[in-house]
Amino acid sequence: MFKNDRFKYLIDYKKHVKIAKKRLDALGDLDGKKILDLGTGAGYLPYLAKKRGAIVMGVNPEWEEFYDYITEDLGVKTLKHTIAPLEALPFTASDKWDIITAYQCCFHKLGDGRKWGVLDWQMFLNRIFNKHLVLRGLLVIQINHPEVLERALIDTTIRHKWSGNTVRIG
Ligand SMILES: C[S@@+](CC[C@H](N)C(=O)[O-])C[C@H]1O[C@@H](n2cnc3c(N)ncnc32)[C@H](O)[C@@H]1O
């Protein structure tokens, strides 16, 4: 069980399944699709995506162990990795994904508490599009800090380079 009561909300299974189902419905047919869920948290999305025929992997930082209680319970395997603007994801060139998702994330927990700025997002997103997403793949990012959303994201030059792929940012 959680050592910290603050995280009890994560075991509200019904609530989280409902949220994950809604997210997956918006992604279309998942049968046979390769999905990478960055900052997967408790892992409800990978758990349900697998049931819909997807080949799915969740990523959580190595230092946030409290999610492990639920991911293990759900049988979801997570890759332990801290996402940072300058660091490549630990995959080979042939590891490409049809859909990459990141819900309620902004990857700000890098140790220094710094929130990413425009350049950080540009580097991260360019890498995702150039290395990790198939052509005409889908990237869905749902930022959980309004301040980050306001400060950062999309500049039309980058959007242009991404033609062929789709990005939904909310
Ligand atoms: C608010 S939770 C959202 C979890 C899940 N996506 C959801 O919607 O329920 C934020 C997630 O981002 C992860 N996270 C924060 N900073 C990260 C980083 N630098 N690299 C990887 N994951 C990070 C946290 O561990 C957590 O799993």
Ligand 1 centre to CA of 38 (Å) is 7
CA–CA distance, 43 with 41 (Å, rounded to integer): 5
Tell me if the domain spanning 5-169 has CATH number 3.30.450.40: no
Q: What is the pLDDT of residue 25?
A: 97
> β-strand 78-80 against 97-105: which pairing, if any?
unpaired
Going by C-alpha positions, the residue among 145, 147, 105, 141 that lies closest to residue 125 is 141
Q: Is the CB of 140 under 6 A from ligand 1?
A: no
Ligand 1 centre to CA of 33 (Å) is 22
- What value does the mean pLDDT of the chain take? 82
Ligand 1 centre to CA of 107 (Å) is 7
Q: What is the pLDDT of residue 60?
A: 95
Domain boundaries, the chain: 5-169
Confidence of residue 43 (pLDDT cuts 50, 70, 90): very high
What are 23's strand-pairing partners? Answer: none
Atom number of ligand 1 nearest to Cα 83: 20
SS3 sequence, 115-135? CCCHHHHHHHHHHHHHHHEEE
The pTM of this model reads 0.88
